[in-house]
Amino acid sequence: MKKINFAIIGCGRIAARHADIISRIGKLTAVCDIKPERAEYFSGKYNAKAFLSAAEMLYNINDTDVVTVCTPNYLHAEHTLLSLRHKKHVICEKPMALSSADCQQMIDEALKAERDLFIVKQNRFNPPVEKLKEIIDEGRLGRIIGFQINCFWNRNKEYYTGSDWKGRKELDGGTLFTQFSHFIDLMYWLMGDVNKVQAIGKNFLHGEVADFEDTGCVIIELKNGAIGTINYTVNSYGKNMEGSLTVFGENGTVKIGGQYLNVLEYQMFRDNYRISGLPESRPANDYGFYQGSMSNHEKVYENVLEVLYNGGTIVANAYEGMKTVEIIEKIYKSMNSMR
C-alpha cells in the first residue's frame, strides 16, 4: 500500500502534533511558515522541503496528496481554498473558519475540486464521548430534554502577549472559536442544531490583551426542544479546572467531565444500564504553560486513511464544521445585542 504524502501549512505548536503522526503513517514532504526558523526546524526534523509561502509550496509539491492547515484561525479559509485549488485533500484545524460564509466557500471549492475536506474535531474520539453518542443514537436516554456545558479554563496574559494573533478579534475570532469550539461541536453532534440563543459575555481580566470576552453565559434552545446552558471562562485561577457536558434525557442522565471531557463522572438510567469498560483517555495536548483539548489526533488521521484508502466516511465533515461556526456566530450576535 502506497504511503500518503502530506504537507503542512503553519509550523506552530499544534503542527508539531500533526507532523509527529504524519511521520509514522505517511511521509511529510513539505512544510511552510512565514517565520523561517519554524519552517527550517520542521524541515530538518522530518526531512521535508521548507517554504515561506503557501502559494510557492503548493506550486512545487505535485507529489503530495494531503495538506494539513495549522495556521492561525483567520487564515484557515484562505489556505484551505488555495490547497483545494491545487487539487489537494485538506485537513483543517479548528475552527474551520471565522465565518459561515467562508465555510460555505470552502465546501463549494472541495466539491468543485473533487477532494475531501476534513475538520479536526478530535474530542469526538474521547472514549466517554463516543459512548455517549452511541447511547443517544440508540435511544437509551429517550427524549433529550436538557444539557449543561461547563468550560472553566485558564489562559493567562502571556498566552496572548506571546502570540501575534491571539486576542485580536479579526484574527482570533473570540474565546468560543479558539478555546471552546470543540464543546459547541459536541453539542451539535450529539443533540442537533440550535433554534434560539441568548448570551451575555464580559472581559473581566484580559482587557489589555484581548478584544473580546473572557467569560460568557449562554442559554440555548435546540431544534428538538431541549434547553441548556453553556458557561465558560478562561479565568479559572492558575490552571484549567473543568470541561464538562451533562445530558438530561427522560430515561437517564450522563455527565462527562474532568478537565477535558475525558472522565465519565455520573450516570443513571431507568433500566439500570451501566457504562463500563471504557478505554483510558489520552492525555491532553501540552503546550508548555497551558494545556488544550485531548490529543486524539491519531484518530483523525486514522479516519483520513480509511476515507482515502477504503472509501470510508469522514467523521467530522465540512458541513458539520460549518454548523459549529454558525452556532458561534449566533451566540456572538446575541452577546453583542446585550451590550
CATH of the domain at 44: 3.40.50.720
Q: Chain-wide mean pLDDT for the chain?
A: 95
Q: Which of 73, 94, 122 delimits the end of a domain? A: 122
pTM: 0.94
- 277 in the same domain as 133: yes
> Domain for residue 22, yes or no?
yes
User: Residue 192: which of 242, 239, 233, 133 has the closest Cα?
Assistant: 133
Bridging pattern class, strands 66-69 and 49-51 = unpaired
Checking if the pLDDT of 285 tops 70, the result is: no
Residues facing residue 217 across a β-bridge: 200, 231
- 173 in the same domain as 90: no
Q: CA–CA distance from 17 to each of 66, 104, 175, 241, 321 (Å)? A: 16, 27, 22, 24, 21
CA angle 156, 10, 216 (to 5 degrees): 35
Spatial distance between the Cα atoms of 7 and 29, rounded to a whole number of angstroms: 6
CA dihedral 252, 258, 263, 264 (to 10 degrees): -20
Place of cell 461547563: 150
> Domain for residue 142, yes or no?
yes
| Cβ contact 297:120 at 8 Å | yes
Spatial distance between the Cα atoms of 74 and 167, rounded to a whole number of angstroms: 12
pLDDT at 240: 95
| Cβ contact 293:182 at 8 Å | yes
> Domain for residue 245, yes or no?
yes
> Domain for residue 301, yes or no?
no
- 262 in the same domain as 161: yes
| Cβ contact 221:227 at 8 Å | yes
| Number of domains into which the chain is organized | 2
The domain that holds 246 is classified in CATH as 3.30.360.10
Position 294 confidence tier, pLDDT thresholds 50, 70, 90 = low
| Cβ contact 193:222 at 8 Å | yes
Mean pLDDT to the nearest integer, 3-24: 97
User: Residue 103: which of 70, 81, 71, 72 has the closest Cα?
Assistant: 81
Place of cell 515561506: 52
Work out the number of other CB atoms within 10 angstroms of the CB of residue 94: 24
- 203 in the same domain as 71: no
Q: What are the pLDDT digits (tens) for 99-149?
A: 999 999 999 999 999 999 999 999 999 999 999 999 999 999 999 999 999
> Domain for residue 293, yes or no?
no
For residue 240, what are the contacts with CB-CB under 8 A and spacing of at least 6? 152, 153, 154, 259, 260, 290, 291
Position 338 confidence tier, pLDDT thresholds 50, 70, 90 = confident
- 139 in the same domain as 273: yes
- 257 in the same domain as 212: yes
- 144 in the same domain as 93: no
Q: Which of 105, 122, 139 delimits the end of a domain? A: 122
- 76 in the same domain as 35: yes
- 184 in the same domain as 97: no
Spatial distance between the Cα atoms of 38 and 170, rounded to a whole number of angstroms: 24
- 177 in the same domain as 257: yes
Q: What is the span of the domain harbouring residue 130?
A: 125-282+318-337
Q: Which of 102, 122, 142 delimits the end of a domain? A: 122
Spatial distance between the Cα atoms of 70 and 54, rounded to a whole number of angstroms: 12
pLDDT at 290: 46
> Domain for residue 312, yes or no?
no
- 201 in the same domain as 329: yes
